[in-house]
Structure 1
Amino acid sequence: MYCTYRSHFTPSYSYSYPSYGYGSLYGYGYGNSGSYYSSYYRSRSRRRKNYWDRYTDMCNRWRRNRRDRRSPSPPKPETPPLPTIPEVPTEELVKELHVKDVDLHIKENTEKHRTDEYACTKDRKVDGKPESAELVVRRGDTIKMTITFDRPYSKEKNDLKLCFSLGKNPKPSRGTQVVFDIDESGTKKFKPDKWGATLQSKSGNNATILVHIPANCIIGEWNFYVKTFSEGKDKEGKEKTLIRQFEPDDDIIILFNPWCKEDGVYMATEKLLDEYICNESGAVWRGNGYQIGAKPWNFGQFGEGILDICLLLVTSGFDDDRLKHMSDPVRVSRMIAKMVNSSDDNGVLTGNWSGDYTGGTPPGKWAGSYKILTQWRESGPVKFGQCWVFSCVTTTVCRALGIPCRTVTNFSSAHDTDQTNCIEKFFQRIGNEDEPIDHLNNDSVWNFHVWNEVWMARPDLKPSFPYGWQVIDATPQETSEGVYTCGPCPVAAVRKGLCMTNYDTAFVFSEVNADKVHWRVHSGDRLERIELFKHSVGKKISTKTPTGKPFSYRRIPNGKRDDHAEANRDDVTLAYKPAEGTEEERETVMQAHRTARFPVPETYKEKEKIKPVEFHLNHDNSVMIGGKMLVELTAKNNGRYERKIPVVAITAFPQGYTGNYGEMFHRKHFMGGATLKPGEEKSFGTVMDPEEYLDKLKEQASISIVATAYVEGIDDEEEQTLRKEHTVRFRRPDLEVEGPDEVRNGDCATFVVSFTNPLDRPLTACNMSMESAGFVDLDDLRCLDVQPKGEFRQEFRLDAIKPKKTAAVYFSFDCKEIPDISGSTDIRIT
């Protein structure tokens, strides 16, 4: 099955982008907060408004909204003057060839380069002011431009050169300045990794040329000018060359090109790019391995201003001397993972897992990336995010820049803090029970964790892993090379347990395939292995099925929303590890253990002991929040002797999705336990009422059920200690969103959003958030309380602004008692 998974992406191509070394990435000057604003505006030199004025505008906005600025804004440097052109006698001006205008054929070029979805490629109004279209293209392909002169262009008497530049101090040695001739034969063949231009046609005063952008070009906004050379004479009658320079008002934005074989992000299966580049709407899976739910999300990578913001985000991490690294998708993707969180700099999102979101927006309230990114542009780091928010914003940035990307969820995701490639938990014996030693238990297993996969070549890892899906993770969990980032890490290397592979492969391996080890600590710090759990980490690794269509709950097979979510879920677990229980999977684990930075040799020394008494913990995984939950522990004696079980207990704790426990709210201790004859089975049951757990629940409405038991030893059958932990997530209601099937662009559509409160208490502090790639987004809206067992129902009228085959509309409802309720629908905009 794994081979089938890989075969979909097997390309036949060569990549040729510059190699600048793959040592410590941060040794090459990943930026800090001091270079945050200036590096973007050094490279984004639109002449419609001086870019240093734009820089000052943004800094002033941030200053008004942030009293805790780390440092004052850097002084505004003087804008370098344009090259001066010496005065030319009037008689010579007649002989010079002057450029009057350059037509960039924006519509034709953007359709060819598959960039016509970007809002900036169209004439439009922004904040009530008219904005003209910009040219956005992809590297590794040609663009067409028509130059208009003051007289017909003559091949015999005139020559043309083009100059492209990027950044504040462009230099050829940095790859940020190039000057090249325009071939006039019209037959020149372009080299994939070289700039070039050829004359395509002439008509009157117009000359149409094709410009080739190399497949290893630095991404960003390039300015350019045209130089003309003409024959002339000086005052003494001697022949000389007359040079004129014309700089258009428009720049050219150049992005990665996954459709180009020579580009490092090339994806051979073109149909998949409909999803991983072009789809603005998707979903992220959350919950736990037993109860999975999909949250719809608006990526919105083509929205107004989003491309500008994404370029700002990346360039703010590189200083002007290192813009050349923005030609390399490996470096760019690693920088994106660094800059989407604000832990080391003024990145996009501030993480918060405390449950207290005073001064910011609760993570579950977001419905898409658009509001997050635009808020960051206006006022700096956005509060607050958790793993799925970090991941979805990362998907937006990668797709906007042309890197194929998808959001991936790992259920029962391990967090290894000490680089042992094991998840260890330590206990001490108190009476007949093993109690956890909290200060030693730093490793954890999250109910779920969300990261990203990006598709690209890895020339630094040839021949082992030359291309494929790479994990990047913007959630600030552990530092990598001194900063909070992760990846790109080859998924294929994780599957083989090759934990020395760059970057952060050991950490990702532990997330999906580490063994859990329970240790009993004796006096003198002697360790005794209690139990080894081989198959409890890395479950149902999920991403959206690559249909190229928006995710929404509008059309539900058989009327079941869960069926619809499951039908759109693509399980990629076997890409990360062999099937559980196979010899290949065990060899992968042992390979990872051998290459761990700090391995624990005692982990696998002892053989697993046969346990005469078999225990099973049972419960319902689909209880709606507000309902009762029955929990049952069964014990069966498979041994040869009668066994006494003096200690049996079932406890329950509220649990955050990162694995942290709250205060215990339920405990059932079965006094006297039981005595089991050989072959006998006994059950221990308890019921949890909503009055016990409702006020204790954390986000995601998860609880941890812990069953403990002690079996006395007899003759050659040793004593037995049981500790079973199950995570259960209460179901929550979904928003039902009703809307029309179709609406005309510019018209208004009516949507009705509703759900039923499942609790015997009112829902308070209610508010609604909405996002869509095809409609005008609404500001967050406060809503009335929802009565016990009552229905919430509200009507929204939205203006359609973008013709699309199918546009998804996402709503998110938040309240104190049941946060993060979401729903969506889709609609055709004609």
Structure 2
Amino acid sequence: MPAVDPVTDLANRFTNDLEVCRREDLDFEIASELNEIASAFAGSKDPKIVSVDFQPAYNAVNHHCEMYELVERRTDCLVLRRGGLFSLDIELNQRAALATEQQVKLYFSFGPRPNVEKGTQGLLVVTGKTKIEKTHDDWDVKLVKESGRKATIEVQIPTDAPVGVWKVAAEVTRRNQPGERHLRRFDTHVYILFNPWNEHDGTYLPEEKMREEYVLAAVGKVFVGSYPHTRGRHWAFGQFDDAVLPACMLLLEKSGVLAEARGDPVRVSRALSKMVNSNDDAGLLVGKWDGEYEDGRAPAKWLGSIEIMETYLRTRQSVKYGQCWVFAACLNTICRALGIPCRVVTNFASAHDTNVSLSIDEYFDEDGDQIEANDRYVNPAGIRDSIWNFHVWNDVWMARPDLPDGFGGWQVIDATPQETSDGSYQCGPASHEAIRQGRVDLKYDVPFVLAEVNADVVRWQEDDHAEGGFKKLATQTSSVGRLILTKEPGPVAPGGFFESDREDITWDYKPPEGTRAERVSILSAARRTRTARQVFDMPSEAKEDVSFKIEDRDQIPIGDDFSVTITATNTSSEVRTINVVMTCASMYYTGAKAHTIKRTDGEMHLEPNETKTMSMEVYYSDYYSKLVDHDLIKSIVICNVQETTQCWGGEDNLEVHKPDITIEVLGPAVATKAVPIRVSFDNPIPLLLKECQLKLDGPGLMRPKTVELENIAPKGKMKFEMNLYPKKAVEGTLIVQFNSKQLCNLTGAKKIVVTDA
């Protein structure tokens, strides 16, 4: 019979375990098996191991792991954190006297070739000592008590143990006497995780409030929108679901990271940033940005990570589809599940610098018209510089022993496949402090992240006399990294704009814009890169004596009309003639245009010191059918002054606002009882809503669910009632989303506190 691939074998075990979790007769089967073993060993004079009780529930509490569903549903699954002690009971077929009569050995093994020297095997001999004597980075064992045929022992896990699923075996012989050796290998899965509660662990996070948020919080937010109009999108991370840990282990197994290296949070987090996308190793999610999602699910229609993780575990195929916030939210789930403190971070006006110039380059011809495509600076894949409305990645907390002192703490990792690093689509961990200081010489991928948050925008114009055929017109130093947000520690606030649970961490990434420290940081980085030096050393040549301002809007309710308005002021003593082009388009969040909504051009004649305005009206009928994911509309105004070389471009980003979904709890929320809820909203448009669907998710309250609904009348009301059946007392958040053919991505969330019966 051909050998089974280790990854396939592990996947088979995990999917079988998932089915076992759903069975109700597991405890009865295990009890019956133990009775049979005890009967078989009853007449033996040699010591035999009847059973080992790994006390999963008791040990989980002591390791801050009691929330993992695997512990609740499986008696043969242990979830622990390295650096801690865990207890187990060994039952023999005779009176237990481990210090004098029997010798017990325990074997903990990890990976395909367990080795004590490489840290992938622990060999422990129970000698009868009652204290842990070895240091925190070594395996150790002590005897706690003996009672009849049972002995209770405690095991110390090293603080640098590899993270993953360990195998365990126990052996007993007569002490100092020849006799039969009895070895039992157990099917028990011993999950060993990182331990941010232990000061010797590389992920140690000293503040309890931060651990509660960045390790234990199962529901949070991903901030989306466009600067300055942001909103928090609720997401069910669900890191304690019974499908998540097995899926995490399968991803790690496929990552190629050696077993002995899986105790290093730097290498593990870097590998995870690769495995969440499917570009290299058939990882978790397939990325797609073109709006065509018929053979999968549109990224905007995911509510949480659980369904994605379970689908991957069951099918062993990359799930379709994801975009940056889905990649980041799933990576957040995986890191928290493994014990790496993690948060989701959104950078508004995020630069994609393709050539490490630390600049985003825009090009114009000799007449001042913007050139759509230019091959001067593109990456090998043909991708040009761009600025995304927002981009989402993750911060992970860890020590950085591979860097100089002072560069530990928060580190950026990014699972969205944008650029390769060391030959794979992975990014980070990049130290916050290295990004702030412009230390592009420190690994990993600091130049790319630095450009995302602090690149300059440089405008170039064709010039046959300039080196390279272009002269630099002007530089904007504050257009990138306008706002960087994450959810702050604490309760999840209701949805909306400028909600109370958002935390501005912009200055964690860079000094305040315009300060000397900020310029020193970016120029210091530029000096270390040849391409950047060329860009930053070239002087600007634009003469600017007309000031422009585009009217700024927050949002508009769906169905409303709006206008695009530009104001120009001539500050010179001469006449200025301005060619104006106004365009309005629906946009993908990457800044790429989806559909042109409206366009107009004209000319403004300004006398010295004169101010004028120009407007373009945009009606509901113009934009309704052209909206795409996130309902973003970008208005762009390009102004070229005929008498000078001045070229100005301004933009306004707005979001078309859709009504929030209302969630009501109609009765007491009691564990094991039906909890009635009502979901409703008013249809804001004069169209019949067809192919209606409601998605619900709430870790601890319910598993992900999809409900088909009847058509909803124009300007009518949607109302749906159902029951939740929470199994235990919990403070959970129910997240809902409505989609139809005519109206998509309506969302709502409700905190529900379930009490004991």
Amino acid aligned to 2:749: S
Question: 1:776-810: CA deviations, max 9, x gaps?
Answer: 33532333343333332222322223321x11111
Amino acid aligned to 1:116: E
Residue 89 of structure 2 is aligned to residue 146 of structure 1: yes
Q: 1:412 to 1:817 in 2, by over 3 A?
A: farther
**Identical amino acids, percent of aligned pairs:** 33
Alignment map for 1:242-391 (pairs within 5 Å):
242-318=180-256, 322-379=258-315, 380-391=317-328
Residue 735 of structure 2 is aligned to residue 814 of structure 1: no
Q: Aligned residue for 1:400?
A: 337
TM-score, length-scaled by structure 2:
0.90
Q: Aligned residue for 2:25?
A: none
Question: 1:12-37: CA deviations, max 9, x gaps?
Answer: xxxxxxxxxxxxxxxxxxxxxxx9x9
Q: 1:818 to 1:535 in 2, by over 3 A?
A: farther
Alignment map for 1:509-658 (pairs within 5 Å):
509-523=450-464, 525-547=468-490, 549=491, 551=492, 553=494, 562=496, 566-596=499-529, 598-607=531-540, 611-639=544-572, 641-658=573-590
Secondary structure (helix, strand or coil) at the match of 1:356 reads: coil
Q: Aligned residue for 2:140?
A: 196
Are the counterparts in 2 of residues 231 and 242 from structure 1 also a CA contact under 8 Å?
no
For residue 674 of structure 1, the aligned residue among 574, 593, 605 is: 605
Residue 632 of structure 2 is aligned to residue 702 of structure 1: yes
Are the counterparts in 1 of residues 172 and 183 from structure 2 also a CA contact under 8 Å?
yes
For residue 484 of structure 1, the aligned residue among 420, 425, 429 is: 425
Are the counterparts in 2 of residues 106 and 135 from structure 1 also a CA contact under 8 Å?
yes
Question: 1:76-102: CA deviations, max 9, x gaps?
Answer: xxxxxxxxxxxxxx99952x3222222
Secondary structure (helix, strand or coil) at the match of 2:143 reads: strand
Are the counterparts in 2 of residues 753 and 795 from structure 1 also a CA contact under 8 Å?
yes
Secondary structure (helix, strand or coil) at the match of 1:723 reads: strand
Secondary structure (helix, strand or coil) at the match of 1:662 reads: strand
Question: 1:405-427: CA deviations, max 9, x gaps?
Answer: 11111110111112211111222
Residue 108 of structure 2 is aligned to residue 164 of structure 1: yes
Q: 1:503 to 1:545 in 2, by over 3 A?
A: same
Amino acid aligned to 1:453: D
Q: Aligned residue for 1:826?
A: 751
Q: Which has the higher contact order (CA 8 A, sep 6+)?
A: 1
Amino acid aligned to 2:75: S
Question: 1:48-79: CA deviations, max 9, x gaps?
Answer: xx949959999xxxxxxxxxxxxxxxxxxxxx
Hey, what's the Cα distance between the residues in 1 that align with 2:114 and 2:671? 43
Secondary structure (helix, strand or coil) at the match of 1:743 reads: coil
Amino acid aligned to 2:723: R
Q: 1:279 to 1:99 in 2, by over 3 A?
A: same
Amino acid aligned to 2:122: V
Are the counterparts in 1 of residues 103 and 127 from structure 2 also a CA contact under 8 Å?
no
Hey, what's the Cα distance between the residues in 2 that align with 1:152 and 1:92? 13
Q: 1:330 to 1:719 in 2, by over 3 A?
A: closer
Bigger Cα displacement from structure 2, 456-465 vs 181-190: 181-190
Hey, what's the Cα distance between the residues in 2 that align with 1:43 and 1:694? 49
Amino acid aligned to 1:403: I
Q: Aligned residue for 2:613?
A: 683
Are the counterparts in 1 of residues 349 and 388 from structure 2 also a CA contact under 8 Å?
yes
Are the counterparts in 2 of residues 39 and 318 from structure 1 also a CA contact under 8 Å?
no
Are the counterparts in 2 of residues 411 and 540 from structure 1 also a CA contact under 8 Å?
yes
Hey, what's the Cα distance between the residues in 2 that align with 1:509 and 1:382? 30
Hey, what's the Cα distance between the residues in 1 that align with 2:689 and 2:531? 49
Question: 1:699-728: CA deviations, max 9, x gaps?
Answer: 212222121223343xxxx44222223322
For residue 726 of structure 2, the aligned residue among 800, 817, 825 is: 800
For residue 419 of structure 1, the aligned residue among 317, 331, 356 is: 356
Hey, what's the Cα distance between the residues in 2 that align with 1:395 and 1:783? 32
Question: 1:118-173: CA deviations, max 9, x gaps?
Answer: 111124xxxxxxx5352211100111112122223332333222111123432334
Q: Aligned residue for 2:386?
A: 444
Residue 673 of structure 2 is aligned to residue 747 of structure 1: yes
Q: Aligned residue for 2:35?
A: none
Bigger Cα displacement from structure 2, 778-787 vs 357-366: 778-787
Hey, what's the Cα distance between the residues in 1 that align with 2:720 and 2:167? 49
Q: 1:649 to 1:223 in 2, by over 3 A?
A: closer
Question: 1:728-770: CA deviations, max 9, x gaps?
Answer: 2222222222224741112222222222233333444432211
Q: CA deviation at 1:638?
A: 2.1
Hey, what's the Cα distance between the residues in 2 that align with 1:283 and 1:808? 11
Bigger Cα displacement from structure 2, 756-765 vs 791-800: 756-765
Q: CA deviation at 1:273?
A: 0.7
Q: Aligned residue for 1:206?
A: 150
Q: 1:664 to 1:603 in 2, by over 3 A?
A: farther
TM-score, length-scaled by structure 1:
0.83
Q: Aligned residue for 1:63?
A: none
Secondary structure (helix, strand or coil) at the match of 2:593 reads: coil
Amino acid aligned to 1:370: I
Q: 1:733 to 1:597 in 2, by over 3 A?
A: farther
Q: CA deviation at 1:585?
A: 0.6
Are the counterparts in 1 of residues 303 and 696 from structure 2 also a CA contact under 8 Å?
yes
Structure 1 gaps, min length 5: 1-34, 45-49, 59-89, 124-130, 233-238, 554-560
For residue 641 of structure 2, the aligned residue among 711, 730, 738 is: 711
Are the counterparts in 2 of residues 636 and 682 from structure 1 also a CA contact under 8 Å?
yes
Residue 29 of structure 2 is aligned to residue 99 of structure 1: no
> RMSD between aligned alpha carbons?
2.6
Hey, what's the Cα distance between the residues in 1 that align with 2:63 and 2:170? 23
Are the counterparts in 2 of residues 426 and 519 from structure 1 also a CA contact under 8 Å?
yes
Amino acid aligned to 1:514: A
Residue 445 of structure 2 is aligned to residue 504 of structure 1: yes
Amino acid aligned to 1:655: M
Q: CA deviation at 1:552?
A: 5.2
Are the counterparts in 2 of residues 341 and 476 from structure 1 also a CA contact under 8 Å?
yes
Hey, what's the Cα distance between the residues in 1 that align with 2:5 and 2:19? 12
Are the counterparts in 2 of residues 774 and 829 from structure 1 also a CA contact under 8 Å?
no
Hey, what's the Cα distance between the residues in 2 that align with 1:263 and 1:57? 34
Question: 1:535-564: CA deviations, max 9, x gaps?
Answer: 0111221111111x3x252xxxxxxx536x
Hey, what's the Cα distance between the residues in 2 that align with 1:771 and 1:509? 36
Q: CA deviation at 1:41?
A: 5.8
Q: Aligned residue for 1:111?
A: 61
Hey, what's the Cα distance between the residues in 2 that align with 1:193 and 1:754? 55
Amino acid aligned to 1:443: D
Q: 1:522 to 1:607 in 2, by over 3 A?
A: closer
Q: 1:344 to 1:434 in 2, by over 3 A?
A: closer
Q: 1:153 to 1:779 in 2, by over 3 A?
A: closer
Are the counterparts in 1 of residues 510 and 518 from structure 2 also a CA contact under 8 Å?
yes
Q: 1:532 to 1:763 in 2, by over 3 A?
A: farther
Question: 1:338-377: CA deviations, max 9, x gaps?
Answer: 1111111221111111111111111111111111111111
